[in-house]
């Protein structure tokens, strides 16, 4: 029998509305890294409009801005994460790491031996 490993997908809902997921957090991370929502969208294979919609949806569900844009100039415009977004991304990643550790520990205690080859 092949080696088995636990997998999980995380997302956070508020009143049944998707607020955060790995995908949405990655979108915010890419905005922070590139300084561009267009580049972040492209990296994820999204249209700019769809990426902007996802960011706006998160902002609406959380009730606070997560990105701010600076217009034009010689180098063009720039989009940056707000301090609240940076804190949210970091906290989500810490949360994700804790959940992964808990899942791996529970798997080792409860299932690994039962699923191992005889």
pLDDT band of residue 3 (cuts 50, 70, 90) is confident
In DSSP notation, the chain reads ----------EEEETTEEEEEHHHHHHHHHHHHHS-HHHHHHHTT--HHHHHHHHHHHHHHHTS--EEEE--STT--EEEE-HHHHHHHHHHHHHHHHHHHHHHHHHHHHTHHHHS--
pLDDT at 4: 81
Domains of the chain by range and CATH?
Answer: 11-115 (1.10.10.10)
Condensed to tens digits (0 to 9), the pLDDT of residues 36-95 reads 999 999 999 999 999 999 999 999 999 999 999 887 666 667 999 999 999 999 999 999
**For residues 103-110, average pLDDT:** 93
pLDDT at 100 over 90: yes
């Amino acid at each position: 029998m092949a080696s088995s490993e636990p997998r999980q997908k995380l997302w956070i809902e508020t009143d049944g509305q998707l607020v955060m997921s790995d995908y949405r957090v990655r979108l915010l991370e890419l905005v922070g890294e590139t300084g561009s929502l267009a580049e972040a969208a492209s990296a994820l294979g999204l249209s700019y409009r769809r990426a902007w919609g996802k960011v706006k949806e998160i902002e609406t569900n959380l009730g606070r801005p997560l990105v701010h844009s600076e217009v034009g100039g010689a180098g063009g415009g720039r989009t940056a994460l707000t301090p609240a977004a940076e804190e949210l991304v970091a906290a989500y990643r810490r949360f994700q790491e804790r959940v992964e550790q808990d899942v791996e520990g529970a798997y080792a205690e409860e299932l690994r031996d039962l699923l191992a080859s005889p």
